[in-house]
Amino acid sequence: MVDRTMRGAAAIVGVADAVSPTGELEGSVRALEVQVIREALADAGLTIADVDGLFSCTGPGWAASLELAEYLGIAPRWTDSTQTGGSSFEIHVQHAAAAISLGLCDVAVVVYAATPRSSFKRGTGGFGSRQALPGPTPSAEWEQPYAMRMPMGAYALAASRHMHEFGTTAEQLAQIAVDTRTWATMNPRARLQDPITIEDVLASPMQASPLHKLDCCLVTDGAGAVVLTSAERARTLRKPPALVLGTGTCHTHAMISEMPDLTTTGAAVSGPLAFAEAGLTPADIDVAQIYDSFTITVLLLLEDLGFCPKGEGGAFVADGVLAPGGALPSNTSGGGLAYTHPGMFGIFLLVEAVRQLRGECGPRQVEGAEVALAHGSGGVLSAMSTIILGTEATA
Amino acid sequence: MSDPLIIPAPDGAPDRQQPPVSSASEPFWEATRTCSLVIQWCRSCERAIHFPREACPSCLGTDLEFRPAAGTGTVYACSEMPAPGNPGMKGRAPYVVVLVDLPEGVRMLSSVVRSDGAEGAAEVAVGDSVRVAWEPLADGRHLPVFVRG
């Protein structure tokens, strides 16, 4: 039977294009994108302030939709850089309709501009050029000349701000590394398995003040995968399902200098969205996997996800709440700080969350775990996504 | 207005990574040739914009202009780099990278540097007042940095 739940749930309400008989257009790719967005919104009777979903598959840097959103000054809660060549935009419309039918975004903009003809004449690219958007990236122009060590420098800036506003201490951040390492002592596959103390963290070399080496994640090889299917079909398969109970996403910037508030991440949006969808609260989470690129990342995310009030993360973690036996067992694999971190850790958060829900974690198993949270962070505290998983008992 | 404070790179230091110039930011970089800090404004919103764009990130309007900035600021966040972030900074570490809030209402990534020529990183904390200074670049432009006070 054909699933028809999306039928009629979304519509195209505004259109615009820019073309010329000469085959050439004045203006940069970014200027053209802004132009057609403005015209299409006007066609629909909407403004940029209405837009909460953004679809773009080309740009100068590593993340098309982030960089366009930063340029436009918006913080979408639905984002899609899906790149499939010429069919990308049909797929974007499909994704937008799906998202809208589920209430995950309200107004979606799908946009594309390219100037291969005039770029070829200017010698700044052209058809077949990999650079769809001629010109420098904002980061090369506004950040890289200052030679901040990346990525730790960006996180260090956030830590400095949190300490200034809330009195958070290096010892409190270190406690996160200590507790995560305690979990790793129970994981024979972890990169670092020896226990550490707060003093060890504070004595490790400074990487970018106030972050020490042991506040920073590993650099390792690694790989992971997860497979998803319908809940109905999942019940016929070999292992007990980890049901997706709630999801949420928010990105706020691409460069750290564009982050609106260095003490609050997009998890303050993604977390509540995920909890609301799941019908749960932070108190319902039995085990948490919270992206630990740096200790400050975990601290900010605990606050933004609602495990403690904003500014109280330091006190919250100080008594070992994240450690084995604590009220919020977190990063039970040993995390990015001690288990593995091959550049991007998000897949491992999901793998560990599922293993905990299945009871497969041996000595580090959290007894009776029925609800798990996995929260990913991308960029420099830039793109946040929260997934809440549950056992069959939570369905 | 007082003379601009020019702080050359240390003797023998390799060139910093040179900032490229985008079409929207050309007036910003041109002004740095005379050590003038200018900030882009949207004339419709009466709102300052940084980094410079081809449209206002509040209203998407294109009625934009550059205006002189006060040249002062407040440190919003800071971190000391004990080692260089790229090869162009070899021999310069330790140094301080900051986010500076300007009174015009925008935030810039930059550096706070020493004005006394001594070695070592500048001493700076979140909340400190700073003012703009200029490091000459190879092509005649200047890179805006900050000093305390």
Of A27, A37, A160, the CB nearest to B78: A160
pLDDT digits (tens, 9 = 90+) for A33-66: 999 999 899 988 889 999 999 999 888 788 999 9
> What's the confidence (pLDDT) of residue A107?
92
3-state helix, strand, coil in chain B (%, to 5): 10, 35, 55
* The CA-based dihedral angle spanning residues A253, A258, A262, A268, taken in that order and rounded to the nearest 10 degrees: -30
- Coil/strand/helix, residue A40: helix
pLDDT digits (tens, 9 = 90+) for B73-124: 999 999 999 999 998 898 899 999 999 999 999 999 999 999 888 889 999 9
Which is more confidently placed, A144 or A230? A144
Q: Do the beta carbons of residue A241 and residue A57 sit within 8 Å? A: no
Q: Do the beta carbons of residue A183 and residue A364 sit within 8 Å? A: yes
> What's the confidence (pLDDT) of residue A232?
81
Which of B22, B54, B79, B130 is the best mutation test for A, with the most CBs of A within 10 A? B79
Tokens of A199: 């003093």
ipTM score of complex: 0.92
pLDDT digits (tens, 9 = 90+) for A330-362: 999 999 999 999 888 888 998 899 999 999 999
pLDDT digits (tens, 9 = 90+) for A190-243: 999 999 999 999 999 999 999 999 999 998 898 888 777 777 878 888 889 988
Q: Give the distance from residue A78's alpha carbon to the nearest chain B alpha carbon, in angstroms.
A: 19
Tokens of B109: 């990534």
Between chain A and chain B, how many beta carbons pairs sit less than 8 Å apart? 134
Residue B40 contacts A where some CB pair is shorter than 8 Å: no
> What's the confidence (pLDDT) of residue A45?
87
> Which residues have C-beta within 8 Å of that of residue A140, sequence separation ≥ 6?
B17, B19, B20
Residues of B in contact with A140 (CB under 8 A): 17, 19-20
Q: Do the beta carbons of residue A181 and residue A332 sit within 8 Å? A: no
Active site residue A291: yes
How many angstroms separate the CA atoms of A137 and B100, rounded?
21
Number of helices (H), then strands (E), in chain B = 1, 8
Q: Decide if pLDDT at A135 tops 50.
A: yes
Name the E strands within A215-320.
243-251, 287-290
> Which residues have C-beta within 8 Å of that of residue A244, sequence separation ≥ 6?
A228, A387, A388, A389
Whether the CA torsion A287, A290, A295, A300 is positive or negative: it is negative
pLDDT digits (tens, 9 = 90+) for A86-116: 778 888 888 888 888 898 998 999 888 888 8
Tokens of B73: 């600021």
H helices present in A124-242, as ranges: 138-142, 152-166, 170-184, 198-203, 231-234
Q: Do the beta carbons of residue A341 and residue A217 sit within 8 Å? A: yes
> What's the confidence (pLDDT) of residue A209?
97
Residue A77 one-letter amino acid: R
- Angle made by CA atoms B70, B74, B79, in degrees to the nearest 5: 130
Q: What is the DSSP-derived secondary structure letter of residue B33?
A: G
Q: Please give the residue of chain B at the shortest CA–CA distance from A256.
A: B109
DSSP string for residues in A180-214: HHHHHTT-TT-S--S---HHHHHHSPEEETTEEGG
The phi-psi region of residue A85 (left if phi > 0; otherwise alpha if psi is between -120 and 50; otherwise beta) is left
> What's the confidence (pLDDT) of residue A7?
65
Residue B108 one-letter amino acid: M
Closest CA to A301 of A251, A264, A246: A264
CB-CB under 8 Å, A141 with B20: yes
CB-CB under 8 Å, B22 with A153: no
Res. A76 pLDDT band, cuts 50 70 90: very high
Residues of A in contact with B17 (CB under 8 A): 140, 144-145, 147
From the centroid of its chain, how far is CA A334? Answer: 20
Query: Strand order in A287-290's β-sheet?
Result: A243-251, A383-390, A371-378, A287-290
From the centroid of its chain, how far is CA A143? Answer: 21
pLDDT digits (tens, 9 = 90+) for A254-310: 999 999 999 999 999 999 999 998 999 999 999 999 999 999 999 999 999 999 999
**Which long-range contacts link A83-91 to residues 24+ away (Cβ below 8 Å)?**
A83/A57, A83/A58, A84/A57, A88/A57, A88/A112, A89/A55
Cross-strand pairs, A371: A390
Closest CA to A53 of A108, A8, A114: A108
Residue A256 contacts B where some CB pair is shorter than 8 Å: yes
Residue B76 contacts A where some CB pair is shorter than 8 Å: yes
Residue A30 contacts B where some CB pair is shorter than 8 Å: yes
| Cα–Cα distances in angstroms (integers) from residue A155 to residues A66, A148, A201, A373, A382, in the given order | 18, 11, 17, 23, 11
Cα-flanking dihedrals φ and ψ of residue B6, to 5°? -105, 125
Cα-flanking dihedrals φ and ψ of residue A193, to 5°? -120, 0
First to last CA, chain B: 16
